Structures are given as structure tokens and as C-alpha cells.
Amino acid sequence: QSVLTQPPSVSAAPGQKVTISCSGSSSNIGKKYVSWYQQVPGTAPKLLIYDNDKRPSGIPDRFSGSKSGTSATLGITGLQTGDEADYFCGVWDNSLSIYVFGTGTKVTVL
């Protein structure tokens, strides 16, 4: 059972915006940097956001991250069919001394 909670699914039409929430606690999101990963089924996860709001090179600025208190949010603007994938938040948990992932959110482009 994950310590980070995400909505199971979100959807929107092409060109629209979606946001994905990640709810944690004071021992993880409240104290440490949050990352976000994109995973197309059958492939390895890919890092989208690190340090709460930074994008690795090659990740378009349509993807953004933010954090407030014990929650984090991933935003995707200008939604494209290629964005259909599963998205996971991740963060180190100071109390458990392990890295934890969110429950995952499936993004569907209508």
C-alpha cells in the first residue's frame, strides 16, 4: 500500500490541460524533493520532473511541477495523444528510509 495517493485517472481533450495530484505526509513530500515519472505501458519509466519543478533536458515545458506542504502537482498543458500514459510521483521518505512512489494516474486523451 503506497504512502503517496494519486487519482486513478484523469482525462481531457487534445490541447486541453490536466493536473495530477500527489498527496503525502510530513515525512516525505513535506521534507523532500518530489519527482514525476511518465510510463507508457510496456516501457521503462521516464523522468519528467525532479526537484519539485525542474525538467530534465528534452522534456517540453508543457510539463510542469509544483509542491505545497505535503502535496505535489503535475500539470500537462496542450495535451497530445502521445501523452497517454501512466504517471507516478516519487519521493524519499525520511521516516521509512525508502523511496516511495505514488499509486499512479492514467492519463487519457479523449
Partner 1 sequence: EVQLVESGGGLVQPGGSLRLSCAASGFTFSNYWMSWVRQAPGKGLEWLANIKTDGSAKNYVDSVKGRFTISRDNAKNSVYLQMNSLRVEDTAVYFCAKPGDSSGLHCWGQGTLVTVSS
Which positions lie near partner 1, rule CB under 8 A?
2, 32-35, 37, 39, 44-47, 49-51, 54, 56, 86, 88, 90-92, 97-104
We find the least distance from the C-beta atom of residue 63 to partner 1, in angstroms, to be: 13
We find the least distance from the C-beta atom of residue 99 to partner 1, in angstroms, to be 4
Question: Given the complex with partner 1, which of 18 and 48 has the nearer CB atom?
Answer: 48
Question: CA-CA distances (angstroms) from residue 101 to 8, 26, 48, 63?
Answer: 14, 15, 14, 19
All 3 cell numbers of residue 71?
502535496
Nearer to partner 1, 49 or 76 (CB): 49
What's the CA gap between 51 and 108, in Å, rounded?
26
Q: How far is CA 12 from CA 62, 77, 106, in A?
A: 15, 10, 12
Least distance from partner 1 to the Cβ atom of residue 80, Å: 22
Count H helices and E strands in the chain, helices first: 0, 9
| C-beta of 2 vs 9, nearer to partner 1 | 2
Map grid coordinates 487519457 to a residue. Answer: 108
Looking at the Cβ atoms of 56 and 78, the one nearer to partner 1 is 56
